[in-house]
A and B are shown apart, each in its own frame.
Chain A
Amino acid sequence: EPEVTQTPSHQVTQMGQEVILRCVPISNHLYFYWYRQILGQKVEFLVSFYNNEISEKSEIFDDQFSVERPDGSNFTLKIRSTKLEDSAMYFCASKGRPNEKLFFGSGTQLSVL
Protein backbone atom coordinates (compact mmCIF):
# COMPACT_ATOMS: atom_id res chain seq x y z
CA GLU A 1 0.00 0.00 0.00
CA PRO A 2 1.33 3.54 -0.73
CA GLU A 3 2.54 5.53 2.26
CA VAL A 4 2.83 9.09 3.44
CA THR A 5 6.40 9.63 4.63
CA GLN A 6 7.53 12.12 7.24
CA THR A 7 10.95 13.35 8.28
CA PRO A 8 12.45 13.58 10.77
CA SER A 9 10.86 11.00 13.06
CA HIS A 10 12.09 12.95 16.08
CA GLN A 11 13.00 16.62 16.37
CA VAL A 12 14.36 18.31 19.47
CA THR A 13 14.60 22.09 19.51
CA GLN A 14 15.09 24.98 21.88
CA MET A 15 12.19 27.25 22.69
CA GLY A 16 12.09 30.18 20.27
CA GLN A 17 13.76 28.30 17.45
CA GLU A 18 12.19 27.66 14.07
CA VAL A 19 11.44 24.11 12.97
CA ILE A 20 10.35 22.66 9.65
CA LEU A 21 8.58 19.34 9.54
CA ARG A 22 8.62 17.58 6.22
CA CYS A 23 6.12 15.31 4.54
CA VAL A 24 5.90 13.54 1.22
CA PRO A 25 2.23 12.78 0.53
CA ILE A 26 1.13 9.91 -1.68
CA SER A 27 2.00 10.86 -5.23
CA ASN A 28 -1.44 11.20 -6.84
CA HIS A 29 -3.11 12.81 -3.83
CA LEU A 30 -4.43 16.36 -3.98
CA TYR A 31 -5.57 17.09 -0.42
CA PHE A 32 -3.01 17.55 2.34
CA TYR A 33 -3.34 17.97 6.08
CA TRP A 34 -1.41 18.49 9.27
CA TYR A 35 -2.66 17.15 12.59
CA ARG A 36 -1.03 17.09 15.98
CA GLN A 37 -1.41 14.86 19.00
CA ILE A 38 -0.21 15.85 22.45
CA LEU A 39 0.80 12.76 24.44
CA GLY A 40 -2.26 10.83 25.60
CA GLN A 41 -4.73 13.20 23.96
CA LYS A 42 -6.79 13.22 20.82
CA VAL A 43 -5.69 13.92 17.28
CA GLU A 44 -6.25 17.63 16.61
CA PHE A 45 -6.76 19.21 13.20
CA LEU A 46 -4.32 22.00 12.31
CA VAL A 47 -4.70 22.81 8.63
CA SER A 48 -5.88 21.52 5.27
CA PHE A 49 -4.29 22.44 1.95
CA TYR A 50 -5.62 22.05 -1.58
CA ASN A 51 -4.74 23.60 -4.93
CA ASN A 52 -1.74 25.38 -3.44
CA GLU A 53 -3.63 27.19 -0.75
CA ILE A 54 -4.96 26.69 2.75
CA SER A 55 -8.59 25.58 2.62
CA GLU A 56 -9.23 25.36 6.36
CA LYS A 57 -7.30 25.97 9.57
CA SER A 58 -7.99 25.60 13.26
CA GLU A 59 -7.50 28.02 16.14
CA ILE A 60 -4.24 26.25 16.95
CA PHE A 61 -2.82 27.25 13.57
CA ASP A 62 -1.88 30.82 14.46
CA ASP A 63 0.62 33.19 12.86
CA GLN A 64 3.52 31.11 14.13
CA PHE A 65 2.52 28.29 11.79
CA SER A 66 2.79 28.12 8.03
CA VAL A 67 2.57 25.43 5.37
CA GLU A 68 4.12 25.17 1.99
CA ARG A 69 4.26 22.85 -0.98
CA PRO A 70 7.61 23.98 -2.40
CA ASP A 71 7.67 21.44 -5.22
CA GLY A 72 5.51 18.66 -6.62
CA SER A 73 6.24 16.21 -3.84
CA ASN A 74 6.94 17.85 -0.48
CA PHE A 75 4.51 19.40 1.97
CA THR A 76 6.05 21.22 4.93
CA LEU A 77 4.89 22.65 8.24
CA LYS A 78 6.95 25.49 9.68
CA ILE A 79 6.72 26.70 13.26
CA ARG A 80 8.43 30.08 13.37
CA SER A 81 9.20 30.45 17.07
CA THR A 82 8.51 27.28 18.99
CA LYS A 83 6.91 27.25 22.43
CA LEU A 84 6.99 24.54 25.07
CA GLU A 85 3.35 23.74 24.37
CA ASP A 86 4.16 22.94 20.73
CA SER A 87 5.68 19.68 21.94
CA ALA A 88 3.57 16.96 20.33
CA MET A 89 3.47 14.31 17.64
CA TYR A 90 2.74 15.96 14.30
CA PHE A 91 1.03 13.85 11.65
CA CYS A 92 0.86 14.69 7.99
CA ALA A 93 -2.02 13.15 6.02
CA SER A 94 -3.22 13.10 2.43
CA LYS A 95 -6.07 11.84 0.31
CA GLY A 96 -6.96 11.71 -3.34
CA ARG A 97 -10.52 13.03 -3.32
CA PRO A 98 -12.76 14.71 -0.72
CA ASN A 99 -14.65 11.69 0.60
CA GLU A 100 -11.83 9.20 0.38
CA LYS A 101 -9.75 7.50 3.01
CA LEU A 102 -7.23 9.72 4.77
CA PHE A 103 -3.74 8.27 4.89
CA PHE A 104 -1.53 9.29 7.82
CA GLY A 105 2.22 9.49 7.92
CA SER A 106 4.16 7.91 10.79
CA GLY A 107 4.55 11.26 12.51
CA THR A 108 7.29 13.58 13.76
CA GLN A 109 7.71 13.74 17.51
CA LEU A 110 8.59 17.36 18.29
CA SER A 111 10.14 18.14 21.67
CA VAL A 112 10.61 21.80 22.59
CA LEU A 113 13.01 22.37 25.48
Chain B
Amino acid sequence: GENVEQHPSTLSVQEGDSAVIKCTYSDSASNYFPWYKQELGKRPQLIIDIRSNVGEKKDQRIAVTLNKTAKHFSLHITETQPEDSAVYFCAAFMNRDDKIIFGKGTRLHILP
Protein backbone atom coordinates (compact mmCIF):
# COMPACT_ATOMS: atom_id res chain seq x y z
CA GLY B 1 0.00 0.00 0.00
CA GLU B 2 0.90 3.66 -0.12
CA ASN B 3 3.56 4.92 2.25
CA VAL B 4 4.36 8.57 2.90
CA GLU B 5 7.65 9.63 4.47
CA GLN B 6 8.02 13.12 5.93
CA HIS B 7 11.11 15.05 7.04
CA PRO B 8 12.13 16.61 9.30
CA SER B 9 10.13 15.54 12.35
CA THR B 10 10.96 18.84 14.08
CA LEU B 11 11.96 22.16 12.55
CA SER B 12 12.87 25.43 14.25
CA VAL B 13 13.25 28.63 12.24
CA GLN B 14 13.67 32.27 13.13
CA GLU B 15 10.63 34.44 12.60
CA GLY B 16 10.80 35.90 9.12
CA ASP B 17 12.88 33.06 7.70
CA SER B 18 11.58 30.32 5.40
CA ALA B 19 10.62 26.78 6.36
CA VAL B 20 10.69 23.76 4.06
CA ILE B 21 9.13 20.38 4.78
CA LYS B 22 9.69 17.46 2.45
CA CYS B 23 7.72 14.31 1.73
CA THR B 24 8.09 11.29 -0.49
CA TYR B 25 5.46 8.80 -1.53
CA SER B 26 5.76 5.25 -2.70
CA ASP B 27 2.92 4.64 -5.15
CA SER B 28 3.25 6.39 -8.51
CA ALA B 29 -0.55 6.19 -8.92
CA SER B 30 -1.03 8.81 -6.19
CA ASN B 31 -2.62 11.85 -7.78
CA TYR B 32 -3.57 14.30 -5.03
CA PHE B 33 -1.34 15.73 -2.30
CA PRO B 34 -2.83 17.84 0.47
CA TRP B 35 -1.01 19.53 3.33
CA TYR B 36 -2.64 19.90 6.72
CA LYS B 37 -1.82 22.14 9.67
CA GLN B 38 -2.79 20.92 13.12
CA GLU B 39 -2.66 23.10 16.21
CA LEU B 40 -2.61 21.48 19.63
CA GLY B 41 -5.88 19.71 20.40
CA LYS B 42 -7.49 20.81 17.15
CA ARG B 43 -8.53 19.07 13.94
CA PRO B 44 -6.22 18.98 10.91
CA GLN B 45 -6.93 21.94 8.64
CA LEU B 46 -6.15 21.87 4.94
CA ILE B 47 -3.77 24.70 4.04
CA ILE B 48 -2.87 23.87 0.46
CA ASP B 49 -3.10 20.98 -1.98
CA ILE B 50 -1.69 20.02 -5.34
CA ARG B 51 -2.80 17.60 -8.02
CA SER B 52 -0.50 15.44 -10.08
CA ASN B 53 -0.99 17.43 -13.28
CA VAL B 54 0.63 20.51 -11.70
CA GLY B 55 4.24 21.07 -10.62
CA GLU B 56 3.82 24.01 -8.29
CA LYS B 57 1.08 25.93 -6.52
CA LYS B 58 1.28 29.06 -4.42
CA ASP B 59 -1.08 30.75 -1.98
CA GLN B 60 0.36 33.90 -0.41
CA ARG B 61 3.23 32.78 1.87
CA ILE B 62 2.66 29.08 1.27
CA ALA B 63 3.77 27.09 -1.77
CA VAL B 64 3.89 23.43 -2.64
CA THR B 65 6.04 21.76 -5.29
CA LEU B 66 5.61 18.31 -6.77
CA ASN B 67 8.17 16.18 -8.60
CA LYS B 68 6.27 13.19 -9.96
CA THR B 69 9.33 11.51 -11.38
CA ALA B 70 11.10 11.49 -8.05
CA LYS B 71 7.85 11.09 -6.10
CA HIS B 72 8.71 14.08 -3.92
CA PHE B 73 6.59 16.98 -2.80
CA SER B 74 7.47 19.85 -0.52
CA LEU B 75 5.84 22.62 1.49
CA HIS B 76 7.48 26.03 1.56
CA ILE B 77 6.47 28.72 4.04
CA THR B 78 8.09 32.12 3.54
CA GLU B 79 8.29 35.06 5.97
CA THR B 80 7.31 32.80 8.85
CA GLN B 81 5.24 34.22 11.68
CA PRO B 82 4.58 33.00 15.25
CA GLU B 83 1.13 31.73 14.25
CA ASP B 84 2.78 29.34 11.80
CA SER B 85 3.92 27.24 14.79
CA ALA B 86 2.02 23.95 14.56
CA VAL B 87 2.36 20.38 13.35
CA TYR B 88 2.22 20.01 9.57
CA PHE B 89 1.20 16.78 7.86
CA CYS B 90 1.68 15.90 4.22
CA ALA B 91 -0.60 13.32 2.67
CA ALA B 92 -1.13 11.39 -0.54
CA PHE B 93 -4.31 10.08 -2.14
CA MET B 94 -5.13 7.55 -4.82
CA ASN B 95 -8.56 7.20 -6.38
CA ARG B 96 -8.35 3.43 -6.51
CA ASP B 97 -7.75 3.05 -2.78
CA ASP B 98 -10.07 5.87 -1.70
CA LYS B 99 -7.96 6.85 1.29
CA ILE B 100 -5.60 9.63 2.20
CA ILE B 101 -2.39 8.44 3.85
CA PHE B 102 -0.61 10.90 6.11
CA GLY B 103 3.06 11.41 6.82
CA LYS B 104 4.24 11.36 10.42
CA GLY B 105 4.16 15.12 10.76
CA THR B 106 6.62 17.96 11.27
CA ARG B 107 6.50 20.07 14.40
CA LEU B 108 7.37 23.60 13.29
CA HIS B 109 8.59 26.08 15.89
CA ILE B 110 8.89 29.74 14.94
CA LEU B 111 11.49 31.38 17.16
CA PRO B 112 11.16 35.06 18.15
Contacts of A56 in B (CB 8 A): 97-99
Interface on chain B toward A: helix, strand, loop, or mixed SS? strand
Contacts of B44 in A (CB 8 A): 43, 91, 104
Contacts of B36 in A (CB 8 A): 43
Nearest CB on B from A58, distance (A): 8
Contacts of B49 in A (CB 8 A): 101
Indicate whether B100 reaches chain A with its CB closer than 8 angstroms. yes
Given A101-B34, A101-B49, check contact A45 B101 (CB 8 Å). Answer: yes
B43, A102: Cβ atoms under 8 Å? no
With an 8 Å Cβ cutoff, the count of chain B residues facing the other chain is 24
B43, A106: Cβ atoms under 8 Å? yes
| Cα-based distance from A99 to B104 in the complex (angstroms) | 22
B102, A42: Cβ atoms under 8 Å? yes
Q: Which of A56, A58, A102 has the most CB of B within 10 A?
A: A102
Nearest CB on B from A84, distance (A): 21
> How many interface residues does chain A have, given as a range?
20 to 34
B95, A98: Cβ atoms under 8 Å? yes
Which residues of chain B from 86 to 112 have a CB within 8 Å of any chain A CB?
89, 93, 95, 97-105
Chain B 41-69 interface mask (CB, 8 Å, partner A; 1/0) = 01111100101000000000000000000
Nearest CB on B from A23, distance (A): 12
B42, A48: Cβ atoms under 8 Å? no
| Cα-based distance from A107 to B45 in the complex (angstroms) | 12
B102, A98: Cβ atoms under 8 Å? no
Pairs A–B under 8 Å by Cβ, sample size 18: A33-B99, A41-B104, A41-B105, A42-B89, A48-B98, A50-B98, A55-B98, A91-B44, A98-B95, A99-B32, A99-B93, A101-B49, A102-B34, A104-B43, A104-B44, A104-B45, A105-B43, A107-B43
Give chain B's interface residues, CB within 8 Å of chain A.
Answer: 31-32, 34, 36, 38, 42-46, 49, 51, 89, 93, 95, 97-105
